[in-house]
Structure 1
Amino acid sequence: MKLHLIVIIASSLIVSSAMALAHNGDADDPIEQSKESTVTRAEVIADLTIFRESGLLALDRNDSVDPSSAEYKAAEGRYEKLREATRAAQTAQHHENSREATVVASKPKSVDQAQQ
């Protein structure tokens, strides 16, 4: 009986110490290490919006997703086109807001303005 009690206590201690170590976290644990994000919150929201608008979100909510289906491939194509359009718009906006933005052409003056 005494041996049985010692075995139970020892196994309880081993299990509890293992659980404590598991919650401790290791400095080398990639989940615990925080990395600085390479995208902004606005970019993530924009990508989610594009994902939703392309139809991929609705397809991914189904129980079984067939990435080789025509419907899925069409949604992927729409997603890629929307991403490229968004990326082009962001690039244009970045260049507009930069100090290097210069006017390369101006509207021609009207006849009335040219005579003044």
Structure 2
Amino acid sequence: MSSKNIIASVLFASVAAISGQAMANDNPHLQPVNTPSQVSRAEVLADLQIYRESGLQAVEQSESYGYDVARREQAQAKYAELRRSPYYATLVKRYGAEVPATTVAGK
């Protein structure tokens, strides 16, 4: 290999490395942006309990998910009813009063 070929190879490799680095720095999607949630942990847990109690979880995890439309509509209606009810507020209050396990472990 001649010295011209070696110099050309080194030059090409360095230009490729520099341009690759520049392209990586221009990509805003490399680092995810985490925005703080407007929903409390207690609200999430209360919603999860209602989701399960309404039967919506069972419908969405069943093998007939796309076929049993009537059962899904019933579960969605019950979920919406429970979500609007005072029961939801009671659950949020109950879960909000519970001490998270991480707090207990830190003491």
TM-fit CA distance, 1:41: 0.6
Partner of 2:49: 49
TM-score by length of 2: 0.52
Shift of 1:29: 2.4
Residue in 1 that maps onto 2:38: 38
Cα separation, 2, equivalents of 1:52 and 1:31:
34
Quote how far apart the aligned CAs of 1:28 are: 3.0
The answer (yes or no) to whether the contact 1:54–1:76 under 8 Å persists in 2 is yes
> Structure 1 regions of 5+ residues with no counterpart?
1-5, 94-116
Which residue in the other structure is 1:3 paired with?
Answer: none
Paired position in structure 2 for 1:82:
82
Runs of 4+ in 1 over 2 A off after TM superposition: 25-31, 86-90
Q: Deviations over 1:54-109 (max 9, x none)?
A: 0000111113413771111110110000000148746xx8xxxxxxxxxxxxxxxx
Q: Alpha carbon RMSD of aligned pairs, Å? A: 3.7
Q: In the aligned structure 1, how far is the partner of 2:79 from the partner of 2:71?
A: 12
Higher fraction of helix: 2
Paired residue total: 75
Are the equivalent residues in 2 in contact too, given 1:27–1:33 (CA < 8 A)?
Answer: no
Stretches of structure 2 that go unaligned for 5 or more consecutive residues are 1-8, 94-107
Amino acid at match of 1:57: Q
Normalised by the length of structure 1, the TM-score is 0.48
Q: What is the aligned partner in structure 1 of residue 29 from structure 2? A: 29
